[in-house]
Amino acid sequence: MHVFKKSSLAAAFGVIFLAGTSFAAEYQITDPQLLAELELQPTPGYELTLGQAIAEAEARNLAIQAAKLEIDRADARLAQAWGLVMPMLSAGLNAIHADKADVVDFGESMAAGLGPILESVGIELPPMEPNPTVVRRQDTVTGQITAALSVINVKNWFTISAARKGLDVTRLSIESVRQQLLVGVAQAYYMALMSKNLVDMQITQVKSAAHHLDFATKRYESGAGLKIEVARAQTDLADARQQLLSARLAFDSARDALGVLTGNAGLPMPVATDELPMPAGSDDELVSWAHKHRLDLAVGEASILLAKRQYNVAWAGFLPTFDMAWQGSYQFTEPSALGAQDRARWNLVFNLNIPIFQYFTIGALKEAKVSTRIAQLKLEDQKQNIGAEVRQARRDHQTALASAELAGQQVLLAREVMELAQTAYEAGAGSSLEVTDARRTVAAAEVNLMARQLQVQISRLVLHRALGTEIKELIPN
């Protein structure tokens, strides 16, 4: 069974960062310019916890919002598919203006046609009055209404089924994208938090360098020290101030990136929260959990079903279809004299279509078979790789934990060496060069520890991602 357990690593590192800084904290800086640099506050911004960052990104991140719109697009495709089986109603209006009306005089026509024949047999055709008849009027205005319905069309129903499964695939895919983006937000949050801690660490380094410069100056002025010791201390302080400036700029950049991902203007101020819980269980248990919760596997399985339904759509093209339609018309102008005088007429039309040969459908069947096989192979490949992915992510996390623990020990040792070098120097038994080297070693060790701490959090996020865990479920209350 997959459970989570909390780690006490952050508490241990907190003790490490608090240890070994007393000598720098006791020193009071008197240089106004340096004091102003140390008291410089970061760019104002609203406080943001990890949970708030995740919630704001989900609500405001434009990439997530754009991805969610894909669900609406898939839903619109489903509505279009339903339109294939829904009744269709249309109306039209036709207006015709001819160059002239078609008129026929049946009296004259009869006299011209039958007169000679009757006269040849001695029969005289009586006189006939003109009787012009309008066959087609010069202006005709007619309105039509047509209602059509596909009564039997198996392909349309298979198309609806495929569109519905396509909507499911889209929803699962968007959910996977959403979780991946939220993991990126969490990574940006931890990066900003590490940058914030780095600024605090660099402030401590500046105070330590200022303390060393003050002592070296006093030794030189009393005749107990050398000018080179003062120069070294000045160089050391200048380097520490430069590192502090770089750390502050990096902190603002990290906050800026976090603000973009959360969809907010300005620079949010990350606030430390409890660590994410550590996944617990054996490798087999974690792999089994991943097989049940990985969204990419759910997407793969849904894609196979979609490909199979698209295959059904293809072979349904060989089946007969039966349609019916009702057509009604109304003539607004006067009907012609020849024909029925009803202005309103209607027709009921039935259409049976039996496909005999459609080579395009044969190609569509082949394509659908290939698509199904591709989806099956992709899913099998994902299942085969999940075990290795989970185990590798767990090994990376364990390596990060071990590296962070060793980095913490290195910080403690480096600070102990620095205190010994500082004490020896102040007692006249050591050189300023030893103090400078020790300080730089401490700074490098502390930066390395912060990087290792960040790697622990990132690797833990990667492990949870490999397991398919919802990031919001991991955030401490």
By percentage, how much of the chain surpasses pLDDT 90?
52
> First CA to last CA across the chain, in angstroms?
23
Position 298 pLDDT exceeds 70: yes
Instruction: Please report whether residue 350 resides in a domain.
Output: no
111 and 199 both lie in a single domain? no
Give the pLDDT band of residue 20 (cuts 50, 70, 90).
Answer: very low
Position 108 pLDDT exceeds 80: no
| Burial state string for 283-311 with b = 16 or more CB within 10 A and e = fewer than 16 | eeebbbbbbeebbbbbbbbbbbbbbbbbb
276 and 403 both lie in a single domain? yes
Instruction: Please report whether residue 327 resides in a domain.
Output: no
69 and 108 both lie in a single domain? no
Instruction: Please report whether residue 345 resides in a domain.
Output: no
127 and 256 both lie in a single domain? no
CATH number of the CATH domain containing 34: 1.20.1600.10
Return phi, psi of residue 132, to 5°: -70, 135
Characterize the bridge pairing of strands 278-280 and 3-5.
Answer: antiparallel
121 and 231 both lie in a single domain? no
26 and 110 both lie in a single domain? no
- pTM, full prediction: 0.76
Question: Over the chain, what is the mean pLDDT?
Answer: 86
What's the pLDDT score for residue 11?
A: 45
Q: How far apart are CA 310 and CA 325, in angstroms?
A: 28
Q: Which of 54, 273, 297, 281 is nearest to 180 (CA)?
A: 54
Instruction: Please report whether residue 401 resides in a domain.
Output: yes
106 and 220 both lie in a single domain? no
118 and 184 both lie in a single domain? no
What's the pLDDT score for residue 393?
A: 94
Residues 386, 291: contact at Cβ < 8 Å? yes
Instruction: Please report whether residue 317 resides in a domain.
Output: yes
CA atoms within 13 A of residue 126's CA, in its CB half-sphere: 1
Residues 458, 190: contact at Cβ < 8 Å? yes
Q: How far apart are CA 125 and CA 112, in angstroms?
A: 10
Q: What is the DSSP letter of 428?
A: T
Per residue in 265-284, pLDDT (tens digit) is 789 999 988 788 888 889 99
106 and 199 both lie in a single domain? no
375 and 246 both lie in a single domain? yes
231 and 118 both lie in a single domain? no
Provide the domain limits for residue 107. Answer: 102-133
Kind plus residue range of the DSSP H or E element containing 279? strand 278-280
124 and 256 both lie in a single domain? no
**Domain count along the chain:** 2
